[in-house]
Amino acid sequence: MALVMSTMLGPYEIVAPLGVGGMGEVYRALDTRLARMVAIKVLPAAFATNGARMQGFEKKARAAGMLNHPNILAVYDVCIYEGSPYLVTELLEDETLRRPECCRCVKYSTTRGRLQKACPPRMTRESRIAT
């Protein structure tokens, strides 16, 4: 679902597209309640019709939302727009994650029982060695 500028997703106003990937589209948006820029990832509508996938998405969003670490993307909200689930996160601009930061992130989330499965296995092994 391609969104156009000024589309409102609840209190979030779409400002510009940021990218497209296998899991959906990402947009820069304005949180009109708090007057801050955020990133919104809109998943395909078909995702919402699969109960197991939707539950997994919501579970991961809740888990990420409970973590507070400088190297973990902050999750602000999870909603549905016209049948498509979307995730609202902090907007990171011009930042890259360096290897040591990723290792600290994996270590932090592992100690809280919330390891991000998307981290490459070698990152996980290195973070355990560094423990």
Tell me how far apart the alpha carbons of residues 17 and 126 are, in angstroms, rounded to a whole number.
35
CA angle 74, 79, 82 (to 5 degrees): 140
The secondary structure of 27-65 as a DSSP string is EEEEETTTTEEEEEEEPPHHHHH-HHHHHHHHHHHHHHH
Domain presence at residue 1: no
Report whether pLDDT(29) > 70. yes
Domain presence at residue 3: no
Same domain, 76 and 110: no
Q: Could you tell me the pTM of the whole model?
A: 0.70
67-103 pLDDT, tens digit each:
777 777 888 999 989 888 899 999 987 655 454 455 5
Q: Read off the tokens for 7.
A: 């589309």
Same domain, 73 and 16: yes
